[in-house]
Amino acid sequence: MERGVLEIRDVVCGYGGVTALRGISLDVRAGQLVALIGANGAGKSTTLRAISGLVPPRAGQMRFEGIDITGARPPRVLASGIAHCPEGRRVFPHMSVEENLDMGAYLRRGSGEIAADRDRIYAEFPRLAERRRQAAGTLSGGEQQMLAIGRALMSRPRLIMFDEPSLGLAPNIVERTFAIIRGIRDAGTTVLLVEQNAFAALEMCDHAYLLENGRIVLSGAGSELIANEHVRKAYLGG
């Protein structure tokens, strides 16, 4: 197996008595967009949570840019250059758009640079600039998604992990979100994407892993997985 900027080896992980990951290994190469696909409960989100330190692994090893991050707590993982966009509610609803962005830079020091990064995000998403003083909870679903992505970028990550970015969004917003994620990859940031919408994920990714019951059962280029008989039957609707 080729070594990646993020290397995961035989990671076992669980919640209480339930084992969610039964020894998974995967590699994310620098500058690539890597997708994790699989059914509900296959362990996709847990993989991201294990990497970001939200769930400590029971066994295995994880390295990012050659540095061991196995069992590191979330602030250390973030400081090492990995940002995580968790699934579910994406923003701090009672904080303003600007405060939400600043939360993304929570661990950073140096207000000048932070302000410059914020302006760059406003330039990218003018809607956010217009609403910078507005409570994030009053934004539309699509705007909240833009804000969540902007917040993740505020930590200046070299790897961003997105957990179900299309969940609960209108189809045109989903399309826009995927375009932004591809744009992030094209700008040089590595992306690890967890996505229910297997077809879209496989189409846009450079490499993909298929998870079933806490194990990786298949990996390859997106086009290879699309062509795979098992993937077609189980995940692409024939």
Partner 1 sequence: MRAAVTILAVAALASVPLWLRDPYLLNALITTGIFVIGAMSLNLLLGFTGQLSLGHIAFFGIGAYVSALTSLGFDVGLPGDVRLVHAPWPPIAGSLLAILVAGMCGYFVGLLSFRVRGAYFVIVTISFAEVVRLVALNWVELTQGPLALTNIPSIALSLPGIGELTLRTKMQNYYLVLVVALVAYLLIARLVHSHFGRAMRGLMENETLAVSVGIDVTRTLTLAAVISAAIAGAAGSLYAHYIRIIDPEVFAFINTVTMVIMVISGGKGSLAGPVVGGLIFGLLPVALRPVMAPEAQWIAYGGVLIAILFVLPRGIVPSLAQRFIRRRSGAPALASVALTETGAKEPA
Which residues, at least 6 apart from 143, have a Cβ–Cβ distance to it below 8 Å? 127, 128, 131
**Between 72 and 208, CB nearer to partner 1:** 72
- Is residue 80 close enough to count as binding partner 1 by CB under 8 A? no
d(CA 148, CA 143): 9
Helix, strand, coil in percent for the chain, rounding step 5: 40, 25, 35
d(CA 209, CA 221): 9
Phi, psi of 53 (to 5 degrees): 90, 5
- Is residue 117 close enough to count as binding partner 1 by CB under 8 A? no
For the CB of residue 36, give the shortest distance to partner 1 in the complex, in Å.
17
**Between 73 and 120, CB nearer to partner 1:** 73
For the CB of residue 220, give the shortest distance to partner 1 in the complex, in Å.
30
Binding-site string for partner 1 from residue 154 to residue 193, where x marks contact by CB under 8 A and - marks none: -x--------------------------------------
- Is residue 102 close enough to count as binding partner 1 by CB under 8 A? yes
For the CB of residue 82, give the shortest distance to partner 1 in the complex, in Å.
10
Candidates 13-21, 96-104, 120-128, 181-189 — which segment interacts with partner 1 by CB under 8 A?
Answer: 96-104
- Look at the alpha carbons of 41, 42, 48, 49 in this order and tell me if their dihedral is positive or negative: positive
Q: Are 4 and 156 in contact (CB under 8 A)?
A: no
- Is residue 133 close enough to count as binding partner 1 by CB under 8 A? yes
d(CA 73, CA 30): 23
For the CB of residue 13, give the shortest distance to partner 1 in the complex, in Å.
16
- Is residue 74 close enough to count as binding partner 1 by CB under 8 A? yes
The residue from 22, 39, 92, 197 that contacts partner 1 (CB under 8 A) is: 92
Residue type at position 180: I
- Is residue 55 close enough to count as binding partner 1 by CB under 8 A? no
Tokens of 152: 């993740």
d(CA 173, CA 170): 5
Q: Which residues bind partner 1 (CB under 8 A)?
A: 52, 54, 73-75, 78-79, 83-86, 88-97, 99, 102-104, 106-107, 133-138, 151, 155
